[in-house]
Amino acid sequence: MELGSLQRRYIDFTTALFREGFLDNQYTQLQQLQDESNPEFVLEVVTLFFEDSEKLLDELSRTLDQQVVDYKKVDAHVHQLKGSSASIGAQRVKNVCMAFRNFCEERNQEGCLRCLQQVRQEYFLVKSKLETLFRLEKQILAAGGSVPVLW
């Protein structure tokens, strides 16, 4: 694909991500912190987010699968997931975490399990979207162009 189309595709894709609530302003904040001295900053932080989140999702499954559920533990994990998703602007993941914490407080196992399913879905969705975004950026740079700045 030629550079112009790649850049247009990038713009459309990014705009949609924000419009559909996958990402919020916090992601833009990350982009603003990236520069020539730290050209991979966003990728690095998001990669940490991916690693953290997958660990947490596994932990959550394990904890909710126990005979006697330790809701304090579940809540602690969700709190962490909420924090890291907020840090990178993964808005939909963050929002499910907020609902998830309410179910923890109520010690509602069914509610928690539903939220776990939902948060996992939202997580994998945003993960794949971000991977597409990074791929587009790479393609643009490889084609000798610069990534459009949308802020």
Our CB check for other proteins shows the closer of 32 and 128 to be: 32
38 binds other proteins (CB under 8 A): yes
108 binds other proteins (CB under 8 A): no
CB 49 → other proteins: shortest distance, Å?
6
52 binds other proteins (CB under 8 A): yes
Q: Which residues pair with 23 in a beta bridge?
A: 90
| Nearest alpha-carbon partner for 73 in 84, 83, 61 | 61
86 binds other proteins (CB under 8 A): yes
- Alpha carbon distance 112, 23 (integer Å): 24
Q: What angle do CA 76, 80, 137 make, to 5 degrees?
A: 160
Kindly report the number of other CB atoms within 10 A of residue 10's CB atom: 20
| Nearest alpha-carbon partner for 82 in 61, 60, 63 | 60
Footprint of other proteins on 65-84 (CB under 8 A): 79-80, 82-84
Our CB check for other proteins shows the closer of 3 and 43 to be: 43
Q: What are phi and psi of 37, to 5 degrees?
A: -80, -20
Part of the chain binding other proteins (CB under 8 A), chosen from 7-15, 24-32, 55-63, 114-122 = 24-32
Residues that bind other proteins (CB under 8 A): 26, 29-30, 32-33, 38, 41, 44-45, 48-49, 52, 79-80, 82-84, 86-88
